[in-house]
Amino acid sequence: AQSVTQLGSHVSVSEGALVLLRCNYSSSVPPYLFWYVQYPNQGLQLLLKYTTGATLVKGINGFEAEFKKSETSFHLTKPSAHMSDAAEYFCAVSSNQAGTALIFGKGTTLSVSS
Amino acid sequence: GAGVSQSPSNKVTEKGKDVELRCDPISGHTALYWYRQSLGQGLEFLIYFQGNSAPDKSGLPSDRFSAERTGGSVSTLTIQRTQQEDSAVYLCASSSGTVGTLHFGNGTRLTVT
């Protein structure tokens, strides 16, 4: 069985500060890992994903995440927060490529203050 | 339309009534998913369709919940004898098969009074 744990339901940063959103996963098979973002009053959209290959993946809006198998982690980072980054972020895991459903974490709300 | 369309956007119903939620996926997307989003609970997987068949129904919380998909396109999620704990946002997503790339609709907010 797979699961995802997002550490911290709320994270607050100042504009220009580093953003770090934590995600740990549990999977009995090599995982596919994803971050989705939900901006206020909008639907979820894919931010970035890891399937195979390079363990550091880059996504939209300057975000990146690194797959660390030894730590079973896939933390999301951005060097400098912008006010427009305020949103809810979801980490997700899938066990295979067959299109079965993603298992999502409970989400982390990011607040950015000026 | 260009995206996943869900209707209605909001639904208020009385406890014990049945409700139907509709999802129109992106044209050509063979995979369709239903999730439930509750405050503090994240996204809870309900059911997945590949074409018209549902290989994974493991997330349906009770036998009051059912879903169907016809013509490889539109899907309806039906909740019978609604309960207050069914209040949530119900999200539909579709995918063309690219790993993990789901396109979500804006959801149906269900309130059971």
The predicted pLDDT at position A66 comes to 95
Mean pLDDT across the stretch B79-107? 92
Strand partners for B50:
B31, B53
pLDDT at position A48 is: 95
| Ramachandran assignment for B10, one of left (phi > 0), alpha (psi -120 to 50 degrees), beta (any other) | beta
- Which among B13, B29, B30 is positioned nearest to B110, based on CA atoms? B13
Provide the pLDDT for residue A2: 82
**Has residue B54 got a pLDDT over 60?**
yes
B68-75, Cβ contacts within 8 angstroms, sequence gap of 24 or more: B69/B32, B72/B30, B73/B24, B73/B25, B73/B27, B74/B22, B74/B23, B74/B24, B74/B25, B75/B22, B75/B23, B75/B25, B75/B32, B75/B34, B75/B49
Alpha carbon distance B107, B23 (integer Å): 9
- Indicate the length of chain B as a whole number: 113
User: Is B99's CB within 8 Å of A32's CB?
Assistant: yes
B1: pLDDT strictly greater than 60: no
Of B100 and A58, more confident: A58
Q: What is the pLDDT of residue B97?
A: 75
For B106, name the nearest residue in chain A, comparing CA atoms only.
A43
- B3 to chain A nearest CA, in Å? 10
Quickly count helices (H) and strands (E) in chain A: 0, 11
**Proportion of chain A above pLDDT 90, given as a percent:** 75
Residue A99 has pLDDT above 70, yes or no: no
Distance CA A39, CA A16 (A): 19
Which residues does chain A have within 8 Å of residue B56's beta carbon, measured at their own beta carbons?
100-101
Q: What is the mean pLDDT of residues A26-49?
A: 90
Q: Are B57 and B47 in contact (CB under 8 A)?
A: yes
> What average pLDDT does the structure give for chain B?
92
Q: What is the mean pLDDT of residues B101-110?
A: 94
Q: Are the Cβ atoms of A107 and B42 closer than 8 angstroms? A: yes
Q: How far apart are CA B9 and CA B5, in angstroms?
A: 9
Residues of chain A neighbouring B104 (CB-CB closer than 8 A): 43-45
Nearest residue in chain B measured CA to CA from A90: B42
Counting Cα atoms < 13 Å in the Cβ hemisphere of A60 gives: 9
Span of A8-17, A60-69, B11-20, B47-56 with lowest mean pLDDT = B47-56
User: Would you tell me how many other CB atoms lie within 10 Å of the CB of residue B39?
Assistant: 8
How confident is the prediction for chain A on average, in pLDDT?
91
Q: Average of pLDDT values for A60-77?
A: 95
pLDDT higher than 90, residue A100:
no
pLDDT confidence tier of residue B57, bands split at 50, 70 and 90:
confident
**Among the ranges given (A11-20, A87-96, B3-12, B102-111), the one the predictor scored with the smallest mean pLDDT:** A87-96
The first and second tokens of residue B26, run together, are 């992106």
